[in-house]
Amino acid sequence: MKIGHHLIDFNQITMPVLNILGLYDDIIPPQSSRHITSVVGSKDKKSIEFPTGHVGLCISQKAHEQLWSEVKN
């Protein structure tokens, strides 16, 4: 992947990765970022898909009760 003039090799990313996707996100649609978890080189990686939109991931009561408690663990 290229960002500007820089070639990015996702396989060189070795830090832990948590990819949180909003299933109804219209700013970053899940199909555009879902594959990132499979291409990073990290051994510690996880995706969480949550049934809400972009803003709902941050501020909805459901996200605070269910999603963020899972992220903390």
- Whole-number Å distance between alpha carbons of 51 and 24: 7
pLDDT band at 69 (very low <50, low <70, confident <90, very high): confident
1 has a pLDDT exceeding 90 = no
Using DSSP, state whether 47 is helix, strand or coil.
strand
* 8-52 residue pLDDT tens: 899 999 999 999 999 999 999 999 999 999 999 999 999 999 999
pTM, two decimals, is 0.81
Report the distance separating Cα 8 and Cα 12, nearest Å.
Answer: 9
Which pairs with CB-CB distance under 8 Å and at least 24 residues apart come from 36-39? 36/10, 39/10, 39/11
Most distant pair of Cα atoms in the chain: their distance:
41
Residue labelled with tokens 């990073």: 40
